[in-house]
Every structure is written in C-alpha cells, then in structure tokens.
Structure 1
Amino acid sequence: MTHPFATDERLDISEQARTADGQIIRLNRRLFMQLHAFGGCTDPDLLIDSLRRQPFGSVLYLDVNDPQGVALLTFSEDADFFVDELRSYLNRPPFVALQPKPEYTMFGRTYAIGNEEDLERALITRPRQKVCDPKWPWAIWYPLRRAGSFEQLSPQEQRTILMEHGGVGHAYGRAGYGTDIRLACFGLDKNDNDFVVALVGPELYPLSSIVQRMRKTKQTSQHLARLGPFFVGKAIWQFEGAHA
C-alpha cells in the first residue's frame, strides 16, 4: 500500500544558495558549534595548558559576570565529536573538577540563508575564523526563539523584517565594531529555541550596543517569544583546530 504522503522526489536537505548570476549551489556540510559554561575555575592557565595539547578547535572565554567562570566553545562538522571525543575530554581533569552551568549550554549548526556565493566559506571556514580571530576576543552568546506570529507572516513581510534586523548588524560590521555568527538549533535545544547567536568584536560596549539597537527592530519587539540567557566573556585561548 502506498503511503499517502509518499513522493518520487528525492528529499534534498543540503544547504542551498543562489549566485549573483542565478545559479543554484548546494553543499551538504555544516559546522556544529557548542558552548559549555563552568564555574569554580581559579586557574584558567591549567585549562589552556590542557587545550593546547588537543587537536580539536576551541575557544576559552573568561566569564565577565563570574570571577571563577569560564566557557569552552568547540566546533566540528561531525556531530559524533561532541558525544565521543569532547565528552571523554570534559570528563577528565582539568574540566571535570569544574562546576557545570547547563543553563548556558548552547548547541547549533551553521545554515545557508540563500545569498551566499561560497557555501563552504560561509558555513565552515568563516565561522571558525570569526570565533578564533585574536582581534575579536569579546563575545556575547545567546539563544532565541521566534514567536508563532512570525511564521504566519507572508514571505515578503518576513524578508522585510529580516532585512531591517540584518541591516543593524551590517552597519556595525562595516564600522568594525563586531560581527555575528548565526546557528540554527531546531530540535537541538532543551528549551526548544530556534537559533543561537554570537556577537564577537574587539570591544564589549559595541556588542552591547548592537543588542540595544536590535531591541527596536520589528523582529525583536514583536516576533520573539524568548531571548537569552546571555553569556558574556572574553577569549583567552583561540585555536581553529589541527585540520582547520
């Protein structure tokens, strides 16, 4: 018996975009990124010494809101990395002695928005470079969930709202104040968030200013159901990975 929803079309879950000349490009790769926060760290140098001996890419942040707080960002194209290699690593000294803060755990994947001309750079290379750039040590990480009202808008209304929101970020980026990393976390987040966002830059104030300006956009003021919690920190260790 044929299933009522059966189709002969092959399901394509690759990331897709369109070049300036209209050519559709596809890439079935994406980068997973995860942030773990900890308390009880009195000697971050021990963590750096340990990370220095690891082949995987990582960023270690000092928590601006906790004098003994740190956060570890890791990233990989292979989701198995987080339950195999990383899990084993975090269950050994020095990280196993720290106090986990699961309320700040964030996990997501890079995704295409449709106008990228180089998908590998946009999805794989550029996010790693952004978080590991020594010129951009400050970071604000936070999850968000859109309200159902956004999904009920027409595609044109959605594009207009997203263009307004994105325009703020682009203005700050052109001025050299910061840049962002956007991750999708549908089905990957215990609180059912839709996205994880990171703002990174050379100084903290401009990143806070971006958040303030975003509050006035239609997306944030009318179509967000939840925002945060926010992790705010400064990188003291950045490594793209042995095979980056």
Structure 2
Amino acid sequence: MTVHFIGAGPGAADLLTVRAVELLRKSPVCLYAGTYLDPEVLGYCAPEAELLDTQGLDLDEIVEHCARAHARGADVARLCSGDPSIYSALTEQKRRLDARGIPWDVTPGVPAYAAAAALLGAELTVPELTQSVVLTRTRARSTAMPESESLANFARTRATLILHLAITRVRTLAAELSLEYGADCPVAVVYRASQPEQQVLRGTLADIADRVEAAGLRQAAVILVGRALADSLDCAQSHLYDPARDRSHLTR
C-alpha cells in the first residue's frame, strides 16, 4: 500500500500527467482538495473508489484516513492542487506518514503559475530583462513568513514575481511593490487558470487593485508582476539561438 501525493495541476482534468491518471484509476481511495479542483478530475477514479474532500479536515484527520486505508492494504491517491512541491503541506504529511510506517511517493503536476503564464502567452524569463522567477506568498491568515523573505527583499531583485495566496491584499502589495518595480510595471491576475470559470485581469501596479476589487476576486488567483509581462518587448536575443553563436562543436 502506498499514499500517492499527486499534483492535480491548476484544475483542468486534461492537464494531469499520464502517471497521475493511472494512479487515480487504480487507487481505491482518493483524498482531494475540493476548493481548487475541477470535479472532472475525479472522473479518472474508479466508480467504486472512496472519494473524500479534505477541505474541512486538518492534517491529523487526513493522515488518519490514510492509516485506515493502509490497514486494509488500499492505495491512496492524495490529490494536491498545482504541484506538490509548493504550498501543499507535503512536508508535514510525510512526517506523519513516516512516523506510522506508511509508504508514500510523489507525482508532480502543472503548477498554477505555469498555467497562468500559458494563458497569458508569457515567457517569465526574458533575455537581459529578467532571468529569475520568485515564487512566494504573503501573510494574512496563514503561517508566518521567515524574516529574510520579506516582499521588499524580493522586490529589490526586480525578478518576475509570482504571488500565491495574496489576492485579498492586492492593494497593499501593489503599493509596496511600486517602490521598486515602478507604478507602470505590468501585472496580471489569473483566477482559476485552465478551469471553465478562468478569468484574466491585466493592468499595472497603479490600477490592478481597482480591477481585482471590481471583479470581486477573493481566492484561487495568482498574481504575476514584472516587466516580462509587457504586451510587446524589444528584448535581446537569447545566446542559445543567436545566429552568431558558434555551433561547430555540436555537429562533430
């Protein structure tokens, strides 16, 4: 028996990996985060599978369900929104499973920020403009942030910034980020990327809060900030594809 942590992607059922689909089909138990999941994803589960929405459970209760499945030798598909490598509580769940001797593995998924960038048709790393992407969040009703990871510290890099779990504080954040990025810096807010109700708001740090508040967005949205998001860019050419690059050693 194994608990399979599976990245459910941004929500769309057709963005799951082939491995994820196979695990869902053969797992007798599926624990899923219903808040962010398109119900079509559960269509990959067997008709007789036990389905449990975990949004009302704490971690100990979730692990207890895994332990019960383990006792009867039933695999568990533990669906996480996006990719398990960020903001999935994977570390805490692994620790509890290890303490009980319950095996587990991880199957990656499409992260929400990647789905958002695809919807925007944006490359987040543009030659000589920005070559780094910062994935972070802010604190509201959530776990404290490390002191070294303040938004101001990240803003000084002027890298493409991806903010999760921050939509309710967009006005405060936009004002703070304007100090480093400039009020005219492009911003995009993507709500439920890849799902039927997906929504894209584009603007600048000066006006994005007005747009978000007018749309009434309160959850399930990713905020992207940076010059790489501009509609048109006259950027430098990547060295990898530059015609002037010496490729003779590649054809020997």
User: What TM-score do the two structures reach when normalised by structure 1?
Assistant: 0.24
Taking CA–CA contacts closer than 8 Å with sequence separation of 6 or more, which of the two structures ends up with the larger relative contact order? 1
The answer to which structure has the higher strand fraction is: 1
Q: Which has the larger radius of gyration?
A: 2
TM-score, normalised via structure 2 length: 0.23
